[in-house]
Chain A
Amino acid sequence: MSHIHIPDGVLPTWLWAGGWVLTLVFVFFAGRLAERNDVRRKVPLLAVVAALMLVAMSSEIVPLAYHVNLTVVAGVLLGPVLSVIAAFIVEVVLAMLGHGGVTVLGLNTLMIASEMVVGWALFRGLVYVLTRRRVRAATFLATVLTLAFTTTLLVGLVAVSGGGNATARETGALDPTTMSFGNPLSAGVFRAGLFDSAGTRAAPAQQPGRPAAEPSLSVARFAAVVYTLGPVGWLLEALISAWVLGYVARVRPGLLWDGPLERRDHAVIGDGQVSG
C-alpha cells in the first residue's frame, strides 16, 4: 500500500498533525542514531536507495492506479534506523512533486517506514526459517504479509478519521456564535441558499450548539475497494521484490547478508570506472 493517496484537507487536523509530530520525533531519533558513526558512507547510501524507490514509484500501472514501491527491498538493504530516514526523504520529494499531500506527509512517512521495518523484520525471520537458499520465497511472503499489514493500517486510519465524531466536526464549519461545527453544504450547495437573497435563504441545517448530521467518509466501502484492488498490487509488488532480491542474492549475496555498508572494491556497472 505504501503511502496514503488521500488528498490534503480530508483527514482531521489532529490526525495529520499527530502524524507530523511522530514523524519528526522518529526522524530526529533515527538521525541522531545514524550520525553516531560512518556518516559519510550513510549519506550516499540513503540517497541512492531513496532515489531507487522514487524511480520505482515513477513507473505507474495506470489501469490499476498502482505503482511499484520497492519498500521491502529498500528496508532489507537499509535496516530499521536508516529506513525511517529514507521514508521521510522519499515523502518530502514526492510531496513537492504533487504526488501525495503535504499535510499527510507525516502519516505517509510512518506508513512507508512501517512497511520497510516490518518487511525487513519479516524477511530476516523468514530467511532464518526457510534458509538462505529460498530468498525469493522469503521475499515474496514478507512482501505480501507486509502489504496486507500496512493496508490494514490504512483502513484503520480512515476508520479513525472518517467514522468518529471527531471527523464529523472537522469536516464541518465552525460557527463562532455557538462555537460548534457544522457542514455548510449539509443541505446541498443550492439548497443552502447560495442564490437566495440574505433574507429568504434557508436556515442552517442543524440546531444551535449541535453539530449537523455529517456526511462522514464510508469506511466500509473504502475497505471493500482497498481489499479488492489491493491484493493485485500486493502480488505484483511481491513478485517484483522477490525477483529483484533473488537476483541480488545470486549476483552479490554479500549485500543481503553483510549489508551494503560493508566495504567493497569493484567497478560501477556500465561506467567502466573503478572505485576503491
Chain B
Amino acid sequence: MNIGSIDRSAVSDLGWLHRISPTAKLAAFTLVLAGVVVTWNLFVACALLILLAATAISARIDLRLALALAAYPALFALIFAAASAPDAMTGTTIVVKAVSAGLAAVTVVLTTPYPQVFAPIQRIVPGIVGDALLMTYRTTFLLLGKLGQLIRAVRLRTGIRGAHPIRMARATTTALGALLLYALDLAQRDYDVMRLRGYSGRLRIPLPHGASRGRDMALLVAAACACAVSVAWRLGWHALNPYSWLLPLAPSVLLGVAATIRLTNQEVAR
C-alpha cells in the first residue's frame, strides 16, 4: 500500500476528474457501487469494470498504482470464490465485482485529496470520530516512514540477512514494538500541538466546488445510467439476458478512445 503515491496523485491536477467536485465524485461512486452490488450478470459486471477502466485512463491517473490497488481485493475475492462459489461463472462474477468496486473506490481516492474524501463522513459522525479519521490518514504516513527507518536500523545493528528468518522476524517485531512506543509519543505531541493551537473539539474541512457544474452533472448522469442499466438487467432479465453481450461493447469503445488519446498525449509530451 503506497500511501505516498496515492496522496501525490490525489493532489495533482492532471485530469478532468481531479477538477470535479468531491461531492459529485462521491455521489457517482455510490451510484456505480450500487450498480456493482445489484448485478449478478457477468456481462454487466464486465461492462462496469471496462467503463471504470476507461474513466481511470481518461482521468490520467497512474494506471499501475490504480490497477495494483484494485487488484488487491481480487486476491481475497479469488480465495473466497474458490472456497465458496458453486461454479466457475459465479466465481468469476464475484472476482469481477470485487475488482470493479475496488477500482471505483481507488479512482475517487486517486483524484481527490483525503480531507475532501473524508469531510462528508466527518460531518455526520461524532466529532471525536471525524477528527480522528482525518488525523489517522496523516499519521499513517509518519508511521510508515518511521517503520522503514526502524527496520533498517535494527537490521544494521544486528547484521541480519535473509538466511536467519527467525532473527529477522524477531528484529521486525522489535521494530513494531518501538513503532508502537513512537506512535504513542507522537499522540502526546499531537495533543500538545492541538492544545496550543486552541483545538475545541471539531476540525473544519471546507468542501470545494467543481471547476464546472456541467461536468459534475455529466459525471452524475453517466453514473446514474450505469446504475440504471444494472438495475434494469436485474429486473428484466427474462427479456434482456439475450442482449447482455452487447453491454461491454460501448465501454470497450470508450476504453479504446481513452487509451488512444492518452498514448498520443504521451507521445506528444516526449
User: Could you tell me which A residues sit within 8 Å of B by CB distance?
Assistant: 5-10, 13, 27-28, 31-32, 34-35, 39-52, 54-58, 65, 70, 73, 77, 85-86, 88-90, 92-93, 95-103, 158, 162, 171-177, 182-185, 188-189, 192-198, 201, 204, 215-219, 221-222, 224-226, 239-240, 243-244, 247-248, 251-252, 255, 260, 264, 266-270, 273, 275-276
Contacts and interface: CB of A to CB of B under 8 A. Distances in A.
B195 to A, nearest CB: 6
Given A9-B38, A244-B180, A41 B136 contact: no
A273 B86 CA distance: 59
Given A189-B89, A218-B84, A195 B190 contact: no
B72 interface: yes
Contacts of A218: 83-86
B16 interface: no
Contact of B174 (A96, A216, A243): A243
Given A43-B135, A85-B129, A174-B234, A185 B101 contact: no
A26 B8 CA distance: 34
24 contacts: A6-B77, A27-B125, A34-B128, A43-B135, A44-B188, A47-B187, A48-B143, A48-B183, A48-B184, A48-B187, A52-B143, A89-B132, A92-B121, A99-B72, A173-B237, A177-B238, A184-B234, A184-B241, A193-B242, A194-B43, A198-B239, A260-B187, A268-B182, A276-B192
A103 to B, nearest CB: 6
B74 to A, nearest CB: 9
B41 A247 contact: no
Contacts, number: 317
Nearest to B236: A176
Interface in B71-119: 72-73, 75-77, 79-80, 82-87, 89-90, 93-95, 97-98, 101-103, 105-106, 108-109, 117-118
Name, among B33, B102, B199, B243, the residue most crowded by chain A CB atoms within 10 Å (CB to CB): B102
A218 B85 CA distance: 6
Interface string B124-145: 0111110111011111101110
Contact of B191 (A9, A41, A224): A41
Given A31-B128, A248-B177, 17 more contacts: A7-B80, A7-B95, A8-B37, A9-B40, A10-B94, A27-B125, A35-B126, A47-B135, A50-B136, A89-B132, A184-B41, A217-B85, A218-B84, A224-B83, A225-B83, A269-B182, A270-B150
